[in-house]
Amino acid sequence: MITAIFSFLHFMIDGICAAALFSRFASGGNVLLRFLVYNFCAFVLQMPFGAILDVLAGRDRKKAFPFVFAAAGAVLTLAGAIVSPILLGIGNALFHVGGGVETIREDRRKQTRGRQLGIFVAPGAMGIFVGRLIGTGNISRDLVFGISVVLVLIALFLLYRAIFYSDRLEEAIPDRRCGSDLGSGASQTGQAGASRYAIFLLAGCFLVVILRSLTGLMVGFAWKNTVWMSLLAVMAVVLGKILGGISAASLGRQKTIIYSLAGAALCYAVSENLAAGLMALLLFNMTMPITLQMLVDRFYRLPGTMFGFLTVGLFLGYLPAQFDLSLPIAGKWLGVFASVCSLLVLISQRREMT
């Protein structure tokens, strides 16, 4: 229930942000700066917010700190939709960190090995799509905003009930040491090796996230020329994220990574075809929950920090599109390159494939 509510809220929050950006804040002067500041606040601030949440939750895991962050984020998002893109971005960041950490905790309680993560992260893309349609269309924005306020408040109330009155929250979450901590009996050589590997893992997942963000924004498709074709593309992205978490838990991370990214590279090569292009989007996005799960498993006590760490990568991948920069590789070949590069980077993390 908790993951379902947070997933719905994820759809709503991202939808409200997109609608506000493309209606209230997309006209007048300094539009590029407004979008840049919003995205900086929404993505980069997730890392410090996540670190703060980890510190608070580490002192008492039974406290509902993730819910407090998510609720504050929802309220600030609603206020920011009227007041400022800065407040809008801060609200978005707080919600994502709170919702993401509570989803990770729910996944650990249920021992579903990352299935919950794919379900939580997926609706955001659909929310952005719908919100952008509302923001750039002729739909009554005040009516939509009013409905959004009601739905968000209802969802927050249900989440409050779920958190404070669910017996599941009283179940102990298995306690593990941070993955890079070898314990007091480890040798200095072993500690140094673990530290080097941890850096290698962080850098690898960070690079993959940058490539995923860059490819999603920079690779276009000739067939995506109507609202309905765009909707199909977004649905492929959403389904890919959901299936990625399910497949990794069922088939294993290694098989999922190899099959999805190798298939994505092949499909991107012929992505001018509608079916191949949709499959490329689906397969390429299957690794999104996997990269997050790899880090939160390795750094067990730092779910908020790891969640925010990867969203910084999303922001960096967004910058070339924001500034309309030209890249050495473009079009479908960027998709092929990103798929192959991501495959090589992730498959090298063999220690995280179990």
Judge whether 200 lies within some domain.
yes
What's the rounded mean pLDDT across residues 185-214?
Answer: 75
Judge whether 180 lies within some domain.
no
Q: Is 182 a residue whose pLDDT tops 50?
A: no
Residue count of the chain, please give it. 354
Judge whether 176 lies within some domain.
no
Judge whether 75 lies within some domain.
yes
Question: What confidence tens digit (pLDDT) does each residue in 233-247 have?
Answer: 999 999 999 999 999
94 and 221 belong to one structural domain:
no
Judge whether 177 lies within some domain.
no
- Domain tally, the chain: 2
What's the rounded mean pLDDT across residues 123-133?
Answer: 93
CA distance 73 to 104: 18
Q: Name the residue with tokens 């409200």.
A: 16
Question: What confidence tens digit (pLDDT) does each residue in 253-292 have?
Answer: 999 999 999 999 999 999 999 999 999 999 999 999 999 9
56 and 159 belong to one structural domain:
yes
Q: What is the pLDDT of residue 31?
A: 87
Q: Is 318 a residue whose pLDDT tops 80?
A: yes
- Residue range(s) defining the domain that contains residue 95: 1-169
- Which of 175-189, 193-207, 263-277 comes out lowest in average pLDDT? 175-189
The CATH number that applies at residue 5 is: 1.20.1250
Query: Which residue, of 118, 141, 169, is where some domain finishes?
Result: 169
198 and 261 belong to one structural domain:
yes
Closest by Cα among 58, 46, 92, 77 to 299: 58
pTM of the model: 0.87
The CATH number that applies at residue 237 is: 1.20.1250.20
Question: What confidence tens digit (pLDDT) does each residue in 286-311 have?
Answer: 999 999 999 999 998 899 999 999 99
Judge whether 255 lies within some domain.
yes
127 and 268 belong to one structural domain:
no
* Helices 274-284/227-250 angle, 10° precision: 40
105 and 24 belong to one structural domain:
yes
127 and 5 belong to one structural domain:
yes
Q: What is the pLDDT of residue 354?
A: 58
Question: What confidence tens digit (pLDDT) does each residue in 83-92 have?
Answer: 899 999 999 9
Q: What is the pLDDT of residue 349?
A: 80
Q: With contact defined as beta carbons under 8 Å apart, do 54 and 303 qualify?
A: yes
CA distance 77 to 83: 10
Question: What confidence tens digit (pLDDT) does each residue in 54-92 have?
Answer: 998 776 666 678 888 998 999 999 999 888 999 999 999
Question: What confidence tens digit (pLDDT) does each residue in 135-174 have?
Answer: 888 666 677 777 777 878 887 777 776 666 554 554 555 5
Q: With contact defined as beta carbons under 8 Å apart, do 53 and 101 qualify?
A: yes
213 and 307 belong to one structural domain:
yes
Judge whether 244 lies within some domain.
yes
158 and 269 belong to one structural domain:
no
Query: Which residue, of 136, 169, 202, is where some domain finishes?
Result: 169
Judge whether 275 lies within some domain.
yes
| Per-residue pLDDT band at 181 (split at 50, 70, 90) | very low
